[in-house]
Structure 1
Amino acid sequence: MSTPPSRTKPREVFIQGVTSAGRTFRPSDWAERLAGAMASFRPGGVQKGIGAHIGYSPYCVPTTLGNVKCVVVNEALRDIEPMAWDFVMNFARDNDLQVLDACLLPDPPSAR
């Protein structure tokens, strides 16, 4: 029996492409590959039809912070598919990547 989704806002975990020793993780497209592997985990389940495979899941998104490749993993993924959550967290652990709890803030509105 699965646990009900939490009522609080899910946290976001940032997997950074830097090892605990400070080395840049390779290959350089690791974030896109990891997020691509998680692309089918979406609200409403797997999408069908032409172009359904294009795009990332909102629960696992590649990004760059400064000059560091990252993957932002929303904790809601744990409720949707615990094995997918375990996969991304084990990927980070197995590759000795830095993991941070954080909140990605939207860009401030530009003054025109």
Structure 2
Amino acid sequence: MVSNNAKEVFIQGITQDGRTFRPSDWAERLAGVMSPFRPGGASPGSHLSYSPWCIPTTLGGVKCVVVHSDLRDYDVMAWDFVMNFARDNGLQLAEACLLPDPPPAK
């Protein structure tokens, strides 16, 4: 379960039993499906870029999708879809919060 105060949730491409999740492009596919869910809503051409609320990435050699809590605030059914995808496929979740950028070096 994901707590309500987490700002970001990392859906990791590792199953609960430690196997690598397949297919290898699962993160890009999931983020592609979520591309219309973005600030200001879908617009012409928005399907050509990922939503800032659902971004595929690789961390430590593991495919992940970073899901921002703003997605939950914008459309709870979209949030549930992503979280249910992780649960249904037995994927590991990690919560995170945004840290402020460090001050510029002087």
What displacement does 1:103 show?
A: 3.9
Which protein shows a greater Rg?
A: 1
- 1:70 pairs with 57, 64, 68, which one? 64
Tell me the residue number matched to 2:19. 23
What amino acid does structure 1 have at the position aligned with 2:11?
Answer: I
* Structure 1, unpaired ranges of 5+: 1-8
Q: TM-score, normalised by structure 2?
A: 0.84
Q: Matched residue pairs, number?
A: 98
What displacement does 1:59 show?
A: 0.4
Q: CA RMSD in A?
A: 2.0
Equivalence map 1:1-112=2 (5 Å): 11-48=7-44, 51-103=45-97
Q: Is contact 1:10-1:76 (8 Å) kept?
A: no
Runs of 4+ in structure 1 deviating by more than 3 angstroms, as ranges, are 103-108
The structure in which a higher percent of residues are helix is 2
Secondary structure of 1:71's partner? Answer: strand
Q: TM-score, normalised by structure 1?
A: 0.80
- Once residues 52 and 59 of structure 2 are traced to their aligned partners in structure 1, the CA distance between those partners, rounded to angstroms, is 17
% same residue: 71
